[in-house]
Structure 1
């Protein structure tokens, strides 16, 4: 005879993954923030790779180039994935809205790198990237707030 406990369906790992994916696609603030963080982490990895490759040009040119590329990618991913606004918001609009905050972030991270470079001229690439990641995390929180609440489409009143 088959044990009755074997007949009851136990949740599979796939069910948990499906639930997580379903939740991650939701439109609530927490799901959007989770997507925002995932995009931020992935584009920060792109930044770190580009910065490491270009660092021999000097920290500032490497930083500016890596920031430009990773920001364009992040803005597009936020438009399509984080906020599901691919149909509502044009590419250029998304770049311009997030671009102002990016300029603030670029100024803060560049200043931070300049201070680090003057205090510790032989700072490793890993230390420089870690500093940029920390400052970018704070700026990223400002970006999320701006993109989630300030730049969101307003409901039309009839």
Structure 2
């Protein structure tokens, strides 16, 4: 199959409303919102890294919620902006609390874990929280 035909099939698939298309768009939106986080962090980090982190988290969450409303779940016609921000923001906060608590528990129960194992645990935790957020956004917010 020529590359252009394959790319066309992928693009048509991404435009669909099925679960895998939404999940792919969810991941793409996550990447875009991370760019917003970095820009916001850098703009505010002169005050301090905590201020940069807070600003980056707020901006990236707002960007992600709006892009999920418009692109990932195509819910702009049925879910208002404030509802998306409130629901998505609440889920982002819950995810932050879950991931922070899990990482704190990991440090407590496995203090001698090597760096590679810690990195693997972080990836697994964030993937799990991201998957739960996707399902909650899909099922309850949008």
TM-score (norm: length of structure 1) = 0.66
1:101 matched to 2:81: no
| Structure showing the higher helix proportion among its residues | 2
Deviation at 1:136, TM superposition (A): 5.3
| Structure 2 unpaired stretches of 5+ | 103-118
- Structure 2 CA distance, aligned partners of 1:142 and 1:12? 36
**Alignment-derived partner of residue 79 in structure 1:** 69
- Structure 1 CA distance, aligned partners of 2:76 and 2:139? 17
Secondary structure of 1:87's match? coil
CA RMSD of aligned residues (A): 2.8
1:24 matched to 2:36: no
Secondary structure of 2:46's match? helix
TM-score (norm: length of structure 2) = 0.73
**Alignment-derived partner of residue 47 in structure 1:** 37
Cα contact 1:60–1:110 (8 A) shared by 2: no
- Structure 1 CA distance, aligned partners of 2:58 and 2:84? 14
Question: 1:1-158, aligned counterparts within 5 Å?
Answer: 11-107=1-97, 137-152=127-142
Structure number with larger C-alpha Rg: 1
Deviation at 1:54, TM superposition (A): 2.4
